[in-house]
Structure 1
């Protein structure tokens, strides 16, 4: 699959993943869960969806033998680092201007991280 098609597929999967992640974050934090654990919970739910969809659709041509444990292990390493960065951004936004500001910042921060995530996914996770 060409880089352009993979990028488009990754963008579609990422938008779906981000929507699920953000909705969980907003719902959980609106129900009273602090912003940091709500962000981590949302990212976990979104990550499960994103790992599977990207493995089955976006990067399937690179996976001759399908998704394996090594792909999951690489994904989890990358996800953990991205979650730390996302959570720092959310915590800073929440502390500086409150929860509603964190709701706005989250999709922006995660979209920036997704650009890095594409390169990591293409050249390391799904190899």
Structure 2
């Protein structure tokens, strides 16, 4: 039976978490600055989230999942995943802040936690997953 919990997957999870903390810091810092400058919160959310996304892709690609080679496929998947997450987190903020009148910062915190869960799942199993090589599939076919 193949074990999915390896020292490498634990290392990846820890590094993903550390990168996520940094990305969240970038997101919150930019969001704070933009809302302080009176930019509407939804526009500030889009810009700050985009800054965190760019940082996230570059750091996760290099350090968390250690990918090399062409950026195009992974970047396209990462952008799609994060556009989906941006939509979900913005809708969450809108619901919590404007419909339930929860403070902007609590709404931002809840949306950020939801975004972390969506991004980890999507990054791990779609964006940065290792593509099986045809040689390995052929070699293990008879096993």
Q: 2:43 aligns with which of 37, 44, 47?
A: 37
1:69 aligns with 2:75: no
Cα distance in 2 between the residues matched to 1:124 and 1:80: 14
Q: 2:11 aligns with which of 5, 24, 36?
A: 5
Tell me the residue number matched to 1:94.
97
Tell me the TM-score normalized by structure 2. Answer: 0.77
Q: Compare CA radii of gyration and give the structure with the larger one.
A: 2
Tell me the residue number matched to 1:112.
114
Secondary structure at the residue paired with 2:39?
coil
Tell me the TM-score normalized by structure 1. Answer: 0.86
Give 5+ residue unaligned stretches, structure 1: none
Displacement of 1:72 after TM fit?
0.4
Cα distance in 1 between the residues matched to 2:97 and 2:33: 15
1:15 aligns with 2:17: no
Higher RCO (C-alpha 8 Å, min separation 6) = 1
Equivalent pair of 1:51/1:75 in contact (CA under 8 Å): yes
Which stretches of structure 1, 4 residues or longer, exceed 3 Å deviation after superposition? none
* TM-superposition CA deviations, 1:61-88 (whole Å, max 9, x none): xx2x435200000001100000001111
Identify the range of structure 1 (37-46 vs 108-117) with the bigger mean alpha-carbon deviation: 108-117
Equivalent pair of 2:26/2:48 in contact (CA under 8 Å): yes
Secondary structure at the residue paired with 1:97?
coil
Equivalent pair of 2:74/2:128 in contact (CA under 8 Å): yes
Give the structure with the higher percent helix. 1
